[in-house]
Amino acid sequence: MDNGEKQQKNQLLSVFLSCRGALVRSILKMRARQEDVDDILQETYLRVMNAGKKQTIISPQDYLFVVSRNLVIENLSRQSREIAMEINDALVGTDDAPIDRALHYRRKFELLNNALRALPEKKRRAILLRKYYGLSHQQIARKMNVSVSSVEKYVASGIKECKRSLQAKGYEEENPPEDCRPGAPTR
């Protein structure tokens, strides 16, 4: 390791240690679980150090925050996928629900996921932050760097597009197939 690399490594460590508290607060504000914070910090530090080996990082503090934010988003996305898989398993594995009903709602859930993926990035992100992560419109506006009214429009129009997509596939919001309605006789 030459002198320049050693100096950059020491600088990155120094910056990381000086802004560790702010990183923790930032990670927690993004709705990461408390038990995941240390892992996210460690991975942030490792990624920044590895990036520092390949290139000169002009603003280490900003870079640390960007990397940690990306890791939180990855972590939340993974958790969301795990929850979706659990929901799918629960729908299919429910003994007291007829198989027609479970398949109906599983297919509807898959179509909703597809509709969400087809949305423009801003609409999809606003809906996910609102519906899955429970953030307020104001929090979403700050996170996305847009106005609150823009967030409201993204969420409303995105949900309308998803509903239209489901309706186009024959899934009315309140009208499951006759034998899939709650209280319908089971086979």
CATH architecture of residue range(s) 3-74: Orthogonal Bundle (1.10)
- Tokens 């629900």 -> residue: 97
- CATH 2.60.130.10 describes domain 94-180: no
* pLDDT attached to residue 31: 81
Asked if residue 37 lies in contact with residue 27, where contact means CB atoms within 8 angstroms, the answer is: yes
Question: What is the pLDDT at residue 89?
Answer: 65
Task: Read off the DSSP letter of residue 133.
Answer: T
- Residue 120 in 3-state DSSP? coil
Task: Name residue 172's beta-bridge partners.
Answer: 175
Per-residue pLDDT in tens (0 to 9) along the chain, 187 residues = 677 778 888 888 999 999 999 999 999 998 888 888 999 999 999 999 998 888 888 899 999 999 999 999 888 888 777 777 766 666 555 555 567 777 777 888 888 888 888 899 899 899 888 887 888 889 999 999 999 999 999 988 888 888 888 888 877 654 444 444 444 444 3
Copy the structure tokens of residue 105.
Answer: 């709602």
Cβ 23 vs Cβ 41: under 8 Å? yes
Same topology between domain 3-74 and domain 94-180: no
Q: Where are the domains of the chain?
A: 3-74, 94-180
Predicted pLDDT of residue 95? 53
User: What token pair was written down for 174?
Assistant: 């309140």
| Predicted pLDDT at 187 | 37
- Tokens at 127, concatenated: 């809906």
The pair of three-digit structure tokens given for residue 183, joined into one six-digit string: 């209280």
Question: What φ, ψ does residue 18 adopt, rounded to 5°?
Answer: -70, -30
